[in-house]
Structure 1
């Protein structure tokens, strides 16, 4: 498994596995895929440098370049050993095992097919590679330094990777997708950064001495459930009585975290389920009707101040990290909004997409803390950031700034807001006054309960375009392992809503 630890000892030209989010798509790269040496045709496939004799016949092939980073906000419990990943990868991609055994044969077949394709062109001798993005007509600000073209990683210990994809349709992978790649590592830590083997376009996109390259043989898109410790629910876990037992354990845990506030714990459970159901049932959550995201359930817990946040807020953050694969926290203060780079921006000087805080993977849970927000003035950046967060909350879309135009990119994030009064910046779907009765000792949820909870949404539900109450009712049914909405669960939701409104009076 390629990560910031293993990169120190993994040798180049080794078969490795890498997991990450596609942070930028660098277009297609043309290279001398096949060349004739005497009477024999050879290939430069899975190699960074195209080597061929001067004056030899050659064929130009192309590959896609994807800049990938570790999933932003990925929690430590989702990481597992190389042996575990090997076993799970082989189990889930059994249909590809025979393909891997025939890699050499397929390479020969693809080369033969490439030689017979008429669109291929001859490449000039000495021109190792070129990029499709090089032909784009964009303004340039001169030659950037090697370090300045590399977007900031998610943390100091994270490892980005330039993945080169072969023979895969462009629709197969898109921006912000999380994927697992198996391929050949060509990272050379001792490479000369001024090496003439790299063309100008290549060095601008990603120099090998800074970022490892992986020539992908096979890949698969990952959903949130692929980060769980169990690949599937057991037969017993699909029984409603088992769901009820899991629900009771989790409710006891959440209620204790929230100072015995049972109503807040109920709404928090529904909020978390509205995100988890998307993991297994994409049609349930965040379907868009007339540009409105239906099925989301953002939650605003109010009556929280700085003191109570130091107790309950900290405990709740830690608890969500133990339950959810991807979590992030954003402080809603004047200073932060006025200075933060929340949305991704295109840098035409380097032809790269500079990441923002909210360039995240689907299934990410965001906590927004408004308890330290004091009176002040938002500058132009702060106003844009506030609009961006509001649009993310209401429409589940993030605005990407391409300098000459802006484009909205769909995402899937659940958002929990902490504030003293009802938030004006983040108008959540549900506002619940927080009323703890006591401060309980910090509890530790059992690994069995946590694992069962992460998978409870797998076997329930169907698409339903509904109002907020129906969304809550659906989530209530899911929490009990039911596939249909019963009168009992509907009445439970109505009673929960009545108690919430009483608190708001």
Structure 2
């Protein structure tokens, strides 16, 4: 039945949508155009679990607002819905105001998902050659995209849909496409029908037995470029981390890692491998030149919002490369960039700068810092890696089938792992006992041990933390420097 309905929709989407909204406007009185008119509910069941939807990052949620004719009274008898009607007949273009019910829609600006590895180009709106006529019109939006070849388009939201979409969110979207025109300043328009949050492509999590094998394979690959097992396990935990709770300025679940003793050659090999294994990776060099060059954060001049190189979506792996950092003087932009990065690492929030104020958006970004010495940025843990370029493998590429399996394994980062009550009692008892015996373990170290035991359990696809997981995490913590 669902397949049949989806085929009917794809054959003539406008007629399909027209029937749904007209059915909701069957009462003779002036219609109430609040909500989706039943359209989103009907369509989301058909399409939201398919990997064929338009994908993008919401760069700006305040891209415009307009009123339009949401419904027209036909023959003084019934109301005809006008949402998703892109072309009006000549008769419908001239209607008495008393026969029009006004509706409103809000616009978003959507662009590429930063760092996204694009397996299927058809899932992205791209500028077509025939749209070159509008090139000058679209130039005024170039501050909203990062690279010359990046796309940008306007998304129009109906029925309050915009209230459920956040800036920086990566979304899967289904909508009616409208060609660029002078009216749209040369931008393609997507009239949004339904959407869902897009953290990563859908995958089936591995079983515990499969996860154990995949964990071993992945650590072997990491050892080839990192040089030692502690660095490999530390990196694995970082890649599986995610924010699970916030309490004021205290962030639970986030785990940022600084690997030191790293050279530019080592960094290149690590980055190449991680890009193969993750579907959304952004690399940012951190040195005086890069920090002073341009703002890394999104900023507004009061009229328009410019994208920042680190306006990232939740789920991104951010690699900060400090291996070329040397002494120098930071200008005002550089100082602000360091403050932005420090806040991102410590609070998992992205700062938006305005002329006389700023505001922060919560995010969930996994962060690895590669550096010679200790990073200039605040991290959860520091580990002095035993890099040896002479013995490290220069080959980082993996066979496609192995790369896909390990990439799917790393999608465990979204999975929840709980700590049962009996384990909490054990951890508390262990902490009290160690303090009595003169241990230097403090609450900060304990917090990291608890978080990493959860991450280690996750690496084995376990939904619950066990004593074995906690003890393995504790052994790792002993090898780290905790700032």
Q: TM-score, normalised by structure 1?
A: 0.70
Identify the residue that residue 209 of structure 2 maps to in structure 1. Answer: 241
Identify the residue that residue 29 of structure 1 maps to in structure 2. Answer: 66
1:241 offset after TM fit, Å?
Answer: 2.2
Q: Secondary structure at the match of 2:167?
A: coil
Q: Secondary structure at the match of 1:455?
A: helix
Q: Is 1:232–2:215 an aligned residue pair?
A: no
Query: Greater relative contact order (Cα 8 A, min sep 6): structure 1 or 2?
Result: 1
In 2, Cα distance between equivalents of 1:448 and 1:380: 43
Task: Single out whichever of 485-494 and 363-372 deviates more from structure 2.
Answer: 485-494
Gaps of 5+ in 2: 1-12, 18-51, 124-135, 425-445
Identify the residue that residue 113 of structure 2 maps to in structure 1. Answer: 71
Identify the residue that residue 148 of structure 2 maps to in structure 1. Answer: 156
Identify the residue that residue 390 of structure 1 maps to in structure 2. Answer: 342
In 2, Cα distance between equivalents of 1:452 and 1:33: 44
1:379–1:48 Cα change, 3 Å: farther
Q: Secondary structure at the match of 1:499?
A: coil
Aligned mate of 2:385, from 434, 443, 456: 434
Identify the residue that residue 45 of structure 1 maps to in structure 2. Answer: 83
In 1, Cα distance between equivalents of 2:396 and 2:162: 47
Identify the residue that residue 297 of structure 1 maps to in structure 2. Answer: 255
1:494–1:185 Cα change, 3 Å: same
Alignment of 1:178-327 (within 5 A): 178-188=170-180, 191=181, 193=182, 198=183, 206-207=184-185, 209=186, 211-224=187-200, 227-228=201-202, 231-233=203-205, 237-238=206-207, 240-258=208-226, 260-274=227-241, 278=242, 285-305=243-263, 309-310=264-265, 312-327=266-281
Q: Secondary structure at the match of 2:93?
A: coil
In 2, Cα distance between equivalents of 1:335 and 1:457: 34
1:456–1:404 Cα change, 3 Å: closer
Q: Conserved in 2, the CA contact under 8 Å of 1:250 and 1:453?
A: no
1:19–1:302 Cα change, 3 Å: same
Alignment of 1:345-360 (within 5 A): 345-348=299-302, 351-360=303-312
Q: Secondary structure at the match of 2:478?
A: helix
Q: TM-score, normalised by structure 2?
A: 0.73
1:48–1:335 Cα change, 3 Å: farther
1:492 offset after TM fit, Å?
Answer: 1.9
String of CA shifts for 1:3-59, please: whole Å, max 9, x gaps.
xxxxxxxxx999994211111112432112233465475554224677621645322
Identify the residue that residue 137 of structure 1 maps to in structure 2. Answer: none
1:167 offset after TM fit, Å?
Answer: 1.8
Identify the residue that residue 128 of structure 2 maps to in structure 1. Answer: none
Gaps of 5+ in 1: 1-11, 83-143, 199-205, 279-284
Aligned mate of 2:418, from 443, 462, 469: 462
1:242 offset after TM fit, Å?
Answer: 1.9
Aligned mate of 2:361, from 404, 409, 418: 409
Q: Conserved in 2, the CA contact under 8 Å of 1:47 and 1:186?
A: no
RMSD: 2.9
Count of residues in correspondence between the two structures: 388
Q: Conserved in 1, the CA contact under 8 Å of 2:66 and 2:104?
A: yes
In 2, Cα distance between equivalents of 1:427 and 1:217: 42
String of CA shifts for 1:53-110, please: whole Å, max 9, x gaps.
1645322111121111121110134x3766xxxxxxxxxxxxxxxxxxxxxxxxxxxx
Q: Conserved in 1, the CA contact under 8 Å of 2:225 and 2:270?
A: yes
Identify the residue that residue 103 of structure 2 maps to in structure 1. Answer: 61
Q: Conserved in 2, the CA contact under 8 Å of 1:29 and 1:63?
A: yes
1:151 offset after TM fit, Å?
Answer: 3.0
1:459–1:397 Cα change, 3 Å: closer
Q: Secondary structure at the match of 1:416?
A: strand
Q: Is 1:166–2:202 an aligned residue pair?
A: no
Q: Is 1:496–2:438 an aligned residue pair?
A: no
In 1, Cα distance between equivalents of 2:463 and 2:172: 32
1:338 offset after TM fit, Å?
Answer: 1.4
